[in-house]
Structure 1
């Protein structure tokens, strides 16, 4: 099985949680990418200090300001990435930035639904749209990939299993929509040889997942890295968990 080689990767929401762990594990990989574009909404915030420290020690970690919901910010980030790539391709885009609110059917509001949908769906749409020309530069089928960090809670078929414990209406709806976006990318970019896959990272101990989560971010990302390293055309358009098991839509 051929290895999916990553010489350049862009990660959204990379200043904490799963996004930051992706940056750290790419750095520790046997053949680290030449360019790790670590993006976040506010690189100057205290929450971004650990990421900035990594960048100071590792010249291949390039911190870039990116608010995924702001078209101007997205376009600006593309120009910045272009400077560093200098005509080269972008191998991998990881749409990781997301948000969760604990609203039920009774407490959900239009304002919350729109805000969560904007971050979890519109953001990945804008980012992928903007970076598509850089992904398209890859030559041959399966030479570039889009990874959308989705969630089991976005599965329509598996909804009854966890609904009573985790109604999280806006989050569920947004992840179901993100899954459709991922499928659309797989179909629409097939002609360009770009793989698109949605991955459920598990219930992970992060600010979003909480302390009760059974899975560490290290184990989650390590397993997702294994999936990424073996990506092929046949995986495009699929929805899997961090172990690589197929999740029903």
Structure 2
């Protein structure tokens, strides 16, 4: 298994849960990235305290304010990342930020559906657009042919709850707006893979498992996967991805998730 080796990575929603776990694992790598950009809504707030503590100990960790539902915030974040990187590009963009409103189909509203879609689907779209120049630069500056996460990649953290074929967990939590937004995110990942392949950028939707995070536990029962297990699995999957998987929906163990 090849080791994931990236010079720069950006993780959205990095102040807790899977996002924070990803940052922690990147920092612990034998060869950690030269730049780890961790984004969250309020970097100076109480919910980002653990992230702040990490940044005080690791000079390669840069915290950046980012609201994925705000195009102006995304544009500003891309400019800041570009300043830090200088003439080099961004190897890995992990769109992890997301939201869930645990409502039944009868209780869903236009406002809830719109807010969930904006964060879970439109956000990754806008992130891909804003960071495309930096991703292209990384791809152009990487040796060799083919696609890989070490070269340039967009990883959209999705969910098996967005699988139309499986309808996982329907009996105990409908969460309709979440399911619809993740199904749409899976299609966005496919669309990105078709367009960005010519630029040398790999694009994949990745299901992290049902994880013991605030969001995962909102379903009522205790999820079977710890954040550490999920993140370790995802990083192992990322290290093995190639052009064969671009556009795919995979889980944290590397298995194909049915559309």
**TM-score category by the smaller chain?**
over 0.9
- The equivalent of 2:104 in structure 1 is 104
The reply on whether 1:146 has 2:154 as its aligned counterpart is yes
1:38-68 Cα offsets, whole Å, 9 max, x none, are 0011101100010011011000000001111
C-alpha displacement of 1:165:
1.8
The reply on whether 1:232 has 2:230 as its aligned counterpart is no
- The equivalent of 2:206 in structure 1 is 199
Deviates more, 1:90-99 or 1:120-129: 120-129
Unaligned runs of 5+ in 2: none
Alpha-carbon distance in structure 1 between the residues aligned to 2:28 and 2:3: 17
- 8 Å CA contact 1:197–1:238 kept in 2: the answer is yes
Alpha-carbon distance in structure 2 between the residues aligned to 1:4 and 1:181: 24
Alpha-carbon distance in structure 2 between the residues aligned to 1:224 and 1:66: 23
How does 1:211-226 map onto structure 2 within 5 Å? 212-226=222-236
C-alpha displacement of 1:141:
3.1
Secondary structure, aligned partner of 1:48: helix
Secondary structure, aligned partner of 2:119: helix
C-alpha displacement of 1:20:
0.4
How does 1:38-187 map onto structure 2 within 5 Å? 38-137=38-137, 138-139=139-140, 140-142=145-147, 143-159=151-167, 161-187=168-194
The reply on whether 1:190 has 2:197 as its aligned counterpart is yes
1:141-183 Cα offsets, whole Å, 9 max, x none, are 3121110100001001112x53222211000000000001000
Question: Runs in 1 of length 4+ with deviation above 4 angstroms?
Answer: 1-4
- 8 Å CA contact 1:121–1:178 kept in 2: the answer is yes
Unaligned runs of 5+ in 1: none
Alpha-carbon distance in structure 2 between the residues aligned to 1:178 and 1:245: 18
The reply on whether 1:246 has 2:251 as its aligned counterpart is no
Aligned residues: CA RMSD: 1.2
- 8 Å CA contact 2:4–2:236 kept in 1: the answer is no
Secondary structure, aligned partner of 1:102: coil
Count of aligned positions:
248
- 8 Å CA contact 1:141–1:192 kept in 2: the answer is no
- 8 Å CA contact 1:19–1:97 kept in 2: the answer is yes
The reply on whether 1:21 has 2:28 as its aligned counterpart is no
Secondary structure, aligned partner of 1:94: strand
- The equivalent of 1:208 in structure 2 is 215
